[in-house]
Chain A
Amino acid sequence: GENVGLHLPTLSVQEGDNSIINCAYSNSASDYFIWYKQESGKGPQFIIDIRSNMDKRQGQRVTVLLNKTVKHLSLQIAATQPGDSAVYFCAEDNMEYGNKLVFGAGTILRVKS
């Protein structure tokens, strides 16, 4: 469903710590997932993606985990830096949606120095 009008959850972490941002998706038919980072006043920026035939994918300082059993997606950021402060969105895609991305509500990440 859509989270309209709700305040975004906030995760505060100390610089250097690892961050874990979670996302629950609703459609078990979704087969492609993307994490986006959005800084204030800017458009969403691609971070990492994962297809449903994988459980884990790693990038530079980021790891995405996919648990299809419970329809859960997580983004792990290692050694979080002040520049990581932003809003993070997960997005899902599947043929039922007609190949358009459906976004989650977002999580605010605040990194304390």
Chain B
Amino acid sequence: NAGVMQNPRHLVRRRGQEARLRCSPMKGHSHVYWYRQLPEEGLKFMVYLQKENIIDESGMPKERFSAEFPKEGPSILRIQQVVRGDSAAYFCASSQGTGNTEAFFGQGTRLTVV
């Protein structure tokens, strides 16, 4: 049973380009969470999705960032017109249910904006 799969592991983008980060949850999990981590900091919640629905996007910047979790395929975190401040590790987690259930994390995508 594969864990949460994220790709790419490393992504380099020039300022102004788009970054697409993919996350395939664990088998049987229908809840996906995206977190951002800056060096030597904790993980900051960005968005919580279920299949075809955004449940909570309170941690997402209002501009340039979007997320989706289609009926088929992985969840996608999209960052448009990237800036240097977007450089961070982005982690995806999935869980089976909602509330009081263990969330499993992927290995993350390290985005570097040059």
* Chain A contacts to B: CB under 8 angstroms: 2-8, 31-32, 34, 36, 42-46, 49, 51, 89, 93, 95, 98-106
Q: What's the Cα separation between A30 and B99 when bound, in Å? A: 11
Tell whether, in the assembled complex, residue A101 and residue B45 are in contact, meaning their CB atoms are under 8 Å apart: yes
* Residues of chain A contacted by B56 (CB below 8 angstroms): 98, 100
Tell whether, in the assembled complex, residue A43 and residue B106 are in contact, meaning their CB atoms are under 8 Å apart: yes
The residue that B99 contacts in the complex, of A7, A44, A45, A93, with Cβ under 8 A, is A93
**Could you say which interface size class chain B belongs to?**
20 to 34
Besides A32-B100, A34-B102, A43-B91, 5 other CB < 8 A contacts?
A31-B100, A43-B105, A99-B99, A104-B42, A105-B42
Q: What's the Cα separation between A51 and B44 when bound, in Å? A: 22
* Chain B contacts to A: CB under 8 angstroms: 4, 6, 33, 35, 38, 40-45, 48, 55-56, 58, 91, 93, 98-100, 102-108
Tell whether, in the assembled complex, residue A49 and residue B102 are in contact, meaning their CB atoms are under 8 Å apart: yes
* Residues of chain A contacted by B108 (CB below 8 angstroms): 42-43
Q: What are 16 A-B pairs with beta-carbon distances under 8 A? A: A2-B42, A2-B44, A3-B42, A36-B105, A43-B106, A46-B103, A46-B104, A51-B100, A89-B43, A93-B100, A99-B48, A99-B99, A100-B45, A100-B56, A103-B35, A105-B41
Q: What's the Cα separation between A21 and B61 when bound, in Å? A: 32
Q: What's the Cα separation between A14 and B41 when bound, in Å? A: 25
Q: Which 4 pairs, one residue from A and one from B, show the smallest C-beta to C-beta distance?
A: A43-B105, A103-B42, A99-B99, A32-B100
Tell whether, in the assembled complex, residue B98 and residue A99 are in contact, meaning their CB atoms are under 8 Å apart: yes
Tell whether, in the assembled complex, residue A8 and residue B40 are in contact, meaning their CB atoms are under 8 Å apart: yes
Q: What's the Cα separation between A106 and B93 when bound, in Å? A: 18
- Residue of A8, A98, A100 with highest tally of chain B CB at under 10 A: A100
Tell whether, in the assembled complex, residue A44 and residue B91 are in contact, meaning their CB atoms are under 8 Å apart: yes
Q: What's the Cα separation between A98 and B103 when bound, in Å? A: 14
